[in-house]
A and B are shown apart, each in its own frame.
Chain A
């Protein structure tokens, strides 16, 4: 078994900065991420000064990186079972930092299973990974601050943004803009996106009613106030803001709310030796994630002055986060047709689910949530549509090879 002073789960900006700040204080660190490289969602494939220096800082003899590595189980006695592409390992930690980030909330709408319909962040990730976008017509719809940077990114890469349909009302968006104006850095960023998107139709109070196509999305129907529009397009990018990844924390027994891992001001969760930073602590954005990465290192190393300094920073960033959360509230969905698929893995439709009394019955009788995503997509949807509570989290936290789980025969159930 490999043992580390600190294991960090998630190599996004929060985890990367935590790793670097811990290593600079002499800690042996393991940094785990299921992606092939560090960067998380926002820095995926981005090459600028900030990302280059953050990546360079990971080249430390004190940092061991585990990429393409999934945490499969959290175990007694501060152990983790992780799976790499060809192997599995048991890792031991003295401190654990959860920097597991967030995922996009994807909600069902007629036609959303057609190839060509992706998440908003999803489309960006696919393009960064090689998918051609030049000359493609894209409609971006949903809600959340992710819409603008992604739209700007896609346009810079040659996409034709047909329209952006934001569900929130104009007054709400204006209030958010005014709030941002208090933070010059954020305002500047927003302005730069706006400049890049000049000429792109932006519609507020709008949402997708249906996506058309037989084997690929070819168009989308949008409700804008009282009116409906049909737009032709190649891709529809949908997203309803972000939801934090809470499963690792829940598996450890940490208290969580639906939108965050519960922590103290100094990032400690309710379980000893376990900390949470970045989006997993509540959606807070890039600068917040970076500040919390530094703060957690200072806290773990009991560096009081650095803690005080970074704590200040984190407080400021979290105030912006609160404004974001208040603006981009989960949307109201248009009523679904009975044949709209809700559980994509098992093809379970709204009609099969709408009269089920609860998640467990829907699962047992209709197989809803039984597929490989294990409710990561449909669980959020059924919570939204029917108010069903989520499943208890248990191992494997991600689908895992049988051989990986078999490794558990060798663990000592209690301790060292």
Chain B
């Protein structure tokens, strides 16, 4: 499958072109990782995988609160989220 390069918290990462942003982040870490802190500071990440739960929100190309699970990766895309030190 074709691959493309995106930037996850400023690190270049090469992933399959058909991935979602959520899939790419998980691929980069070899597992689902915390991509959001809840309003009381708890670690969260994608749950429903289909645009319902809004737990997978990340910042994409400077736009906050984009759904990682519903957004396909694109060449050069800047994906950022707060790194909490959590796995």
A binds B: yes
Q: Which residues of A pack against B, CB within 8 Å? A: 34-36, 41, 45, 68, 85, 103-104, 106, 113-119, 121-132, 136, 215-216, 234-235, 341, 344-347, 371-373, 376-377, 399
A125, B50: Cβ atoms closer than 8 Å: yes
Would you list the 4 A-B pairs with minimal beta carbon distance, nearest first?
Answer: A130-B23, A125-B49, A130-B19, A129-B23
B39, A347: Cβ atoms closer than 8 Å: yes
Contacts of B40 in A (CB 8 A): 347
Q: Which residue of A lies closest to B50 (CB)?
A: A125
Cβ contacts A to B, 21 pairs, < 8 Å: A104-B50, A104-B52, A113-B38, A115-B32, A118-B32, A121-B49, A124-B49, A125-B50, A129-B22, A129-B49, A130-B15, A130-B16, A130-B22, A130-B27, A216-B32, A216-B86, A341-B42, A344-B38, A346-B39, A372-B54, A399-B54
Most buried by B among A115, A234, A235, A372: A115
User: What's the dominant secondary structure at chain B's contact region?
Assistant: loop
Assuming the contacts A35-B51, A345-B54, asked whether A132 and B30 have C-beta atoms less than 8 A apart, the reply is: yes
B19, A129: Cβ atoms closer than 8 Å: yes
B70, A68: Cβ atoms closer than 8 Å: yes
Contacts of A125 in B (CB 8 A): 48-50, 69
**Residues 40-68 of B at the A interface (beta carbon under 8 Å):** 40, 42-55, 57, 65
CA–CA, A85 and B24, complex, Å? 19
**B18 contacts A by Cβ under 8 Å:** yes
A119, B87: Cβ atoms closer than 8 Å: no
Contacts of A347 in B (CB 8 A): 38-40, 42
**B31 contacts A by Cβ under 8 Å:** yes
CA–CA, A116 and B15, complex, Å? 21
CA–CA, A171 and B70, complex, Å? 39
Assuming the contacts A115-B43, A347-B38, asked whether A131 and B48 have C-beta atoms less than 8 A apart, the reply is: no
User: What's the dominant secondary structure at chain A's contact region?
Assistant: loop
Most buried by A among B22, B40, B46: B46
Chain A proximity of B47: nearest CB distance (Å):
5
Q: Which residue of B lies closest to A131 (CB)?
A: B26
Contact of A344 among B16, B50, B53 (CB under 8 A): B53
Chain B proximity of A250: nearest CB distance (Å):
16
CA–CA, A354 and B49, complex, Å? 29
A41, B32: Cβ atoms closer than 8 Å: no
Chain B proximity of A229: nearest CB distance (Å):
24
Chain A proximity of B75: nearest CB distance (Å):
15
9 new A-B pairs (CB below 8 Å) besides A344-B53, A347-B40? A35-B50, A36-B20, A36-B71, A36-B72, A122-B46, A129-B19, A129-B69, A130-B27, A376-B53
Q: Which residue of B lies closest to A345 (CB)?
A: B54
Chain B proximity of A272: nearest CB distance (Å):
30
Chain B proximity of A145: nearest CB distance (Å):
17
Contact of B53 among A114, A136, A373 (CB under 8 A): A373
A132, B27: Cβ atoms closer than 8 Å: yes
Q: Which residue of A lies closest to B60 (CB)?
A: A85
CA–CA, A344 and B16, complex, Å? 31
CA–CA, A121 and B47, complex, Å? 10
**B33 contacts A by Cβ under 8 Å:** yes
Chain B proximity of A12: nearest CB distance (Å):
11
Contact of A131 among B23, B38, B50 (CB under 8 A): B23
Contacts of B45 in A (CB 8 A): 115-116
B87, A215: Cβ atoms closer than 8 Å: yes
Assuming the contacts A130-B18, A131-B22, A132-B27, asked whether A106 and B70 have C-beta atoms less than 8 A apart, the reply is: no
Contact of A377 among B23, B34, B53 (CB under 8 A): B53
B87, A121: Cβ atoms closer than 8 Å: no
A344, B44: Cβ atoms closer than 8 Å: yes
A126, B49: Cβ atoms closer than 8 Å: yes
B32, A122: Cβ atoms closer than 8 Å: no
